[in-house]
């Protein structure tokens, strides 16, 4: 193999800029987690990889390499090279990698070069990039942090998106509550962490006074914030976002009724409303025990009535009733209890515009 083919090791740049990545690992490896911008075009299928791995253990490297060439030859080899070539030509700024930067990526890079396309290979492959991502998160845990807190519906995510912040819920594809599931699946845990590393690098590049994040639980849906990072978050001061109840109701209405239905309809067509209704009813059922029998029965009845009217006429006004009651009787008391229990210092408290101005002043000071 040609040792002069390009090799790259700019891991932080790859993590932060998220260039196109040709992932040569087997599908089962890819499904456990990858990087943003990666497309799985494997050198070997899952079964082929198992066969070669078994051969390697029993007969050694040379026998395994010979078996690999035997399994991937002729039209199959040509079709895989053609897929890589199409990717590389369409994504000239990209690069390829395998699990550890070893034979799989070296062979694929050489086959591509033989087909007339020189494409960079990531030194150390997925493992090296993954180690770099973990190191970024561990380093970020040593930096000053500031958590944006506030009652449900206060618009924390919207404010974060306006500022130079790390949006953990966006990275986890979950809004972080019983009603927080989205129609698209959450990323694998490894992908969540890799994307977090990239987001941290992008924010750190502008050198903010603090790493600004939303105040989250350890789990965001089924994805957990890395423990070292979460521990640092738990020691950090707060910004408190205060908005009146009527504003919060409208935020919830937009996010969980209007936007969620729109997403469901775009994905499921005529069945979208049924999918949307089921998600809301399942979310309510998930907090049934914490609501208590009487409150759950009332809220579920109001939700059902609102959904029926919405489907009949398109009117969403009835949703405001159960949303208001859910906020005042469930989410707000829980928020106040948790805030008092933790006793973290509060640097600033105010509306979105007041907190935004305060944040801009902190940035200007630096």
pLDDT digits (tens, 9 = 90+) for 189-218: 999 999 999 999 999 998 888 999 999 999
pLDDT band at 2 (very low <50, low <70, confident <90, very high): low
Cβ 191 vs Cβ 29: under 8 Å: no
The predicted pLDDT at position 1 comes to 59
Distance of CA 338 to the CA centre of its chain: 26
| Average confidence (pLDDT) over 126-154 | 97
List, as own/partner pairs, every contact residues 73-76 make where C-beta atoms lie below 8 angstroms and the sequence separation is at least 24, other chains included.
none
| Average confidence (pLDDT) over 304-323 | 97
pLDDT band at 363 (very low <50, low <70, confident <90, very high): confident
d(CA 236, CA 180): 24
Q: 159-177 pLDDT, tens per residue?
A: 999 998 999 999 999 988 8
- Domains of the chain (ranges; CATH) run 7-133 (3.40.250.10), 145-365 (no CATH)
> Which of 345, 159, 176 lies closest to 248, judged by CA?
159
d(CA 98, CA 105): 5
Cβ 146 vs Cβ 211: under 8 Å: yes
Judge whether residue 129 has pLDDT over 90: yes
pLDDT band at 186 (very low <50, low <70, confident <90, very high): very high
Judge whether residue 365 has pLDDT over 60: no
d(CA 211, CA 158): 17
pLDDT band at 366 (very low <50, low <70, confident <90, very high): low
Q: 249-264 pLDDT, tens per residue?
A: 999 999 999 999 999 9
**Mean pLDDT over the full length of the chain:** 94
Judge whether residue 364 has pLDDT over 80: no
* Cβ neighbours of 12 (radius 10 Å): 17
Percent of the chain with pLDDT over 90: 84
Beta bridge partners of 273: none
Positions marked active-site? 98
Q: 93-123 pLDDT, tens per residue?
A: 999 999 999 999 999 999 999 999 999 999 9
The predicted pLDDT at position 239 comes to 96
The structure tokens listed for 194 are 């890799």
In total, the chain counts a number of residues equal to 366
The predicted pLDDT at position 290 comes to 94
d(CA 287, CA 330): 10
d(CA 251, CA 246): 9
């Amino acid at each position: 193999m040609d040792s002069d083919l390009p090799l790259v090791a700019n891991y932080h740049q790859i993590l932060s800029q998220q260039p196109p990545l040709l992932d040569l690992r087997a599908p089962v490896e890819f499904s456990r987690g990858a990087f943003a911008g990666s497309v799985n075009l494997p050198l070997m299928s899952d079964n082929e990889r198992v066969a070669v791995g078994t051969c390697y253990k029993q007969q050694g490297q040379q026998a395994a390499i010979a078996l690999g060439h035997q399994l991937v030859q002729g039209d199959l080899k040509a079709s895989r090279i053609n897929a890589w070539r199409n990717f590389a030509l369409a994504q000239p700024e990209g690069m390829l990698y395998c699990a550890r930067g070893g034979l799989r990526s070296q062979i694929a890079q050489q086959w591509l070069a033989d087909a007339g396309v020189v494409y960079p290979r990531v030194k150390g492959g997925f493992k090296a990039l993954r180690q770099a991502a973990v190191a970024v998160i561990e380093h970020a845990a040593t930096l000053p942090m500031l958590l944006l807190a506030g009652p449900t519906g206060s618009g924390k995510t919207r404010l974060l998106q306006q500022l130079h912040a790390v949006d953990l819920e966006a990275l986890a594809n979950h809004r972080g509550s019983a009603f927080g599931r989205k129609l698209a699946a959450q990323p694998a845990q490894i992908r969540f962490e890799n994307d977090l590393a990239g987001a941290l690098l992008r924010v750190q590049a502008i050198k903010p006074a603090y790493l600004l994040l939303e105040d989250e639980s350890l789990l965001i849906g089924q994805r957990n914030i890395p423990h070292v990072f979460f521990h640092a978050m738990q020691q950090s001061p707060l910004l408190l976002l205060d908005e009146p109840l009527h504003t919060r109701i409208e935020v919830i209405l937009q996010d969980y009724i209007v936007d969620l239905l729109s997403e469901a309809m775009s994905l499921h067509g005529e069945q979208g409303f049924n999918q949307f209704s089921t998600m809301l009813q399942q979310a309510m059922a998930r907090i049934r025990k914490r609501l208590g029998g009487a409150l759950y029965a009332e809220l579920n009845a109001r939700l059902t009535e609102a959904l029926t009217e919405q489907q009949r006429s398109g009117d969403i006004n009835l949703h405001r009733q159960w949303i208001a009651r859910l906020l005042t009787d469930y989410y707000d008391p829980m928020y106040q209890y948790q805030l008092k229990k933790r006793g973290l210092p509060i640097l600033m408290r105010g509306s979105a515009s007041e907190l935004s101005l305060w944040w801009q002043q902190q940035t200007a000071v630096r």
